[in-house]
């Protein structure tokens, strides 16, 4: 059985080991290739300050690339008795290269190692989330343009209120995603700073070149203060979780709208048949389960920042084992959000719109404001026009003109989709994912 990196002469109680390790070995599989990537940068720096020879560096980098390829294929395994991903990587190197493998931990602690792994993992996941959001955004903009002349009722208090349009409805969620992306970009920029070299949170007596590892890994900058670098554990996850929660909030609301509008009592939209499920006893049922599950999953993601906050909230500076538990709720959340985004993109692309909703007389009253505004434009004081139309409605004398003429920015007749698209593109460009991708490619010898 492999010895733990910290273990000396006394072996830990097996029940204590089971409790303290928890799900960490399972969670660390998410981090495997990023742990290898971080080690490659670290040892390249160690060679530059003469803690490794050129030959040792060459040997270690070659073997680390092999381990990375294994992790990339999903074949990396943390063996029984090995505590975590860091221990497993070092064990594999030591088996292959002997004492040379034991040298990679100089100037490093598992504390800054996991900080680095989490940041490398998270920034890669943010990139995938951003790409998925962008795909959904483009679908919504296309649908907004396609159905921009199809009117639908707008609601306040779930009462019919004023004319809206499918151009507005699709476009509203597109612009919401643009704001969500701005939040995601801020989270990415806070994540994309290098904690490596902070060691256990108090630095190292080795003359580490932290600027070099920052450049090798394509970070924007350092987490400079070593104590703050350690304090960032939990804070980074919470900030990213808030950004994920804003996206999830948009998806949840859109999913609820779609479920409501798909019901027979509304009949505004029709979800693709292949995206609905049936009933075991009611042969007519076509249930919007995908969007119902999307709503539930996204509501769960919206609770994620609070869960992280409650784990890390009352901790002083320095490292505490509490932080391990954050991984269990944080790491799997990215795939759940990506799944929801992918489902929403597919369905919103294929959703069918009812183009004759307002032919039904029950929606006549939503044109009352149009009539008030028409009278006001002709010179009647607005309050008098409002009263006149209200009395006509009470007397049953209201006969609406269903022509709608909205011209101001962001209205039915002037959706500003080009401006919203330009805003999204500006935000997407601001991520600058290219820098991290190039650095990782160079480090792996793939450029």
Q: What is the pLDDT of residues 422-432, one digit of tens each?
A: 999 999 999 99
> Sorting pLDDT into bands at 50, 70 and 90, what band is 193?
very high
**Which residue ranges make up each domain of the chain?**
14-103, 110-358+416-443, 360-410
Domain 14-103 and domain 110-358+416-443, same fold? Reply is no
Q: Is it the case that residue 210 has pLDDT exceeding 70?
A: yes
- Which residues, at least 6 apart from 381, have a Cβ–Cβ distance to it below 8 Å? none
Q: Which CATH class is domain 14-103?
A: mainly alpha
- Predicted pLDDT at 224: 96
Three-state secondary structure string covering the chain: CCCCCCCCCCCCCHHHHHHHHCCHHHHHHHHHHHHHHHHHHHHHHHHHCCCCCHHHHHHHHHHHHHHHHHHHCCCCCCCCCCCCHHHHHHHHHHHHHHHHHHHCCCCCCHHHHHHHHHHHHHHHHHHHHHHHHHHHHHHHHHHHHHCCCCEEEEEECCEEEEEEEHHHHHHHHHHHHHHHHHHHHHHHHHHCEECCCCCCCCCCCCCCCHHHHHHHCCCCEECCCHHHHHHCCCHHHHHHHHHHHHHHHHHHHHHHHHHHHHCCCCCCEECCHHHCECCCCCCCCCECHHHHHHHHHHHHHHCHHHHHHHHHCCCCCCCCHHHHHHHHHHCCHHHHHHHHHHHHHHHHHHCEECCCHHHCHHHHHHHHHHHHHHHHHCCCCHHHHHHHHHHHHHCCCCCCCCCCCCCCCCECCECCHHHHHHHHHHHHHHHCHHHHHHHHHHHCCCC
- Predicted pLDDT at 6: 43
pLDDT per residue over 66-125, tens digit each? 999 999 999 999 998 888 999 999 999 999 999 999 999 999 999 999 999 999 999 999
- Predicted pLDDT at 19: 67
Query: What does the pLDDT average to over 130-134?
Result: 98
The answer to whether the beta carbons of residues 93 and 36 sit under 8 Å apart is no
Query: What does the pLDDT average to over 5-27?
Result: 65
Sequence length of the chain is 447
Q: Which two tokens stand for residue 173?
A: 């969620």
- Predicted pLDDT at 21: 66
DSSP-derived pairing of the beta strands 221-222 and 151-156: unpaired
Q: In degrees rounded to 5, what are phi and psi of residue 360?
A: -75, 130
The answer to whether the beta carbons of residues 199 and 226 sit under 8 Å apart is yes
Q: Is it the case that residue 16 has pLDDT exceeding 80?
A: no
Told to judge if 279 belongs to the known catalytic residues of this protein, a careful annotator would answer: yes
What CA–CA distances, in Å, run from 244 to 180, 294, 314, 333, 361? Answer: 8, 14, 23, 9, 42
The average confidence (pLDDT) of the chain is 92
Q: Is it the case that residue 279 has pLDDT exceeding 70?
A: no
- Predicted pLDDT at 447: 72
191-195, 282-286, 311-315, 398-402 — most confident range? 191-195
Query: What does the pLDDT average to over 224-234?
Result: 94
> Sorting pLDDT into bands at 50, 70 and 90, what band is 7?
low
Q: Is it the case that residue 8 has pLDDT exceeding 60?
A: no
- Predicted pLDDT at 154: 95
Q: Is it the case that residue 293 has pLDDT exceeding 60?
A: yes
> Sorting pLDDT into bands at 50, 70 and 90, what band is 287?
confident
Candidate list 87, 132, 165, 279, residue with the active-site label? 279
- Predicted pLDDT at 20: 67
The answer to whether the beta carbons of residues 104 and 39 sit under 8 Å apart is yes
Candidate list 157, 356, 408, 434, residue with the active-site label? 157
User: Whole-angstrom Cα distance, residue 241 to residue 86?
Assistant: 25
- Predicted pLDDT at 1: 42
User: Whole-angstrom Cα distance, residue 153 to residue 171?
Assistant: 15
Q: How far is CA 21 from the centre of its chain?
A: 27
The answer to whether the beta carbons of residues 151 and 357 sit under 8 Å apart is yes
Told to judge if 176 belongs to the known catalytic residues of this protein, a careful annotator would answer: no
Note the CATH architecture for domain 110-358+416-443. Answer: Up-down Bundle (1.20)
Lowest mean pLDDT among 11-15, 65-69, 259-263: 11-15
What is the phi-psi region of residue 158: left when phi exceeds 0, alpha when psi lies from -120 to 50, beta otherwise?
Answer: left
Question: Token match 């509008």: residue?
Answer: 261
Among 135, 127, 129, 131, CA closest to 345: 135
- Predicted pLDDT at 272: 84
């Amino acid at each position: 059985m492999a010895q733990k990196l910290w273990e000396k002469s006394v072996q830990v109680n097996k029940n204590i080991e089971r409790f303290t390790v928890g799900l960490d070995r399972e969670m660390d599989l998410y981090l495997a290739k990023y742990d290898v990537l971080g080690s490659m940068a670290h040892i390249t720096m160690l060679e530059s300050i003469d803690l490794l020879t050129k030959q040792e560096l060459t040997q270690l980098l070659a073997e680390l690339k092999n381990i990375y390829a294994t992790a990339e294929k999903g074949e990396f395994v943390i063996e029984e008795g090995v505590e975590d991903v860091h221990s497993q990587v070092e064990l594999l190197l030591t088996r292959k290269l002997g004492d040379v493998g034991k040298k990679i931990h100089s100037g490093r602690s598992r504390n800054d190692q996991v900080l680095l792994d989490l940041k490398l993992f998270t920034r890669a996941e943010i990139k995938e989330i951003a790409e998925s959001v962008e795909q959904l955004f483009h679908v919504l903009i296309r649908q907004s343009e396609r159905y921009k002349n199809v009117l639908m009722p707008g609601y306040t208090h779930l009462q019919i209120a004023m004319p809206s349009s499918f151009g507005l409805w699709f476009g509203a969620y597109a612009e919401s995603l643009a704001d969500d992306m701005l939040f995601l970009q801020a989270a990415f920029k806070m994540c994309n700073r290098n904690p490596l070299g902070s060691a256990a949170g108090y630095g190292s007596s080795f003359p580490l070149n932290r600027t070099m590892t920052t450049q090798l890994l394509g970070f924007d900058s350092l987490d400079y203060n070593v104590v703050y670098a350690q304090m960032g554990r939990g804070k980074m996850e919470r900030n990213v979780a808030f950004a994920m929660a804003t996206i999830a909030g948009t998806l949840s609301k859109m999913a609820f709208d779609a479920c409501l509008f798909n019901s027979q009592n509304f009949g505004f939209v029709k979800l693709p048949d292949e995206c609905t499920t049936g009933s075991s006893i009611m042969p007519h049922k076509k249930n919007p389960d995908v969007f119902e599950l999307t709503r539930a999953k996204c509501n769960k993601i919206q609770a994620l920042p609070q869960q992280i906050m409650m784990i890390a909230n009352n901790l002083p500076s320095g490292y505490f084992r509490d932080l391990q538990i954050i991984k269990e709720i944080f790491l799997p959340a990215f795939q759940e959000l990506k799944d929801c985004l992918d489902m929403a993109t597919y369905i919103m692309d294929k959703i069918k719109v009812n183009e004759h909703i307002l032919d039904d007389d029950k929606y006549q009253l939503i044109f009352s404001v149009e009539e008030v505004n028409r009278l006001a434009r002709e010179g009647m004081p607005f309050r008098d026009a409002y009263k006149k139309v209200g009395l006509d409605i009470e007397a049953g004398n209201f006969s609406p003109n269903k022509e709608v003429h909205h011209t101001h920015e962001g209205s039915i007749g002037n959706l500003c989709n080009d401006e919203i698209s330009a805003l999204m593109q500006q935000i997407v460009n601001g991520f600058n994912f290219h820098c991290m991708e190039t650095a990782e490619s160079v480090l792996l010898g793939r450029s």
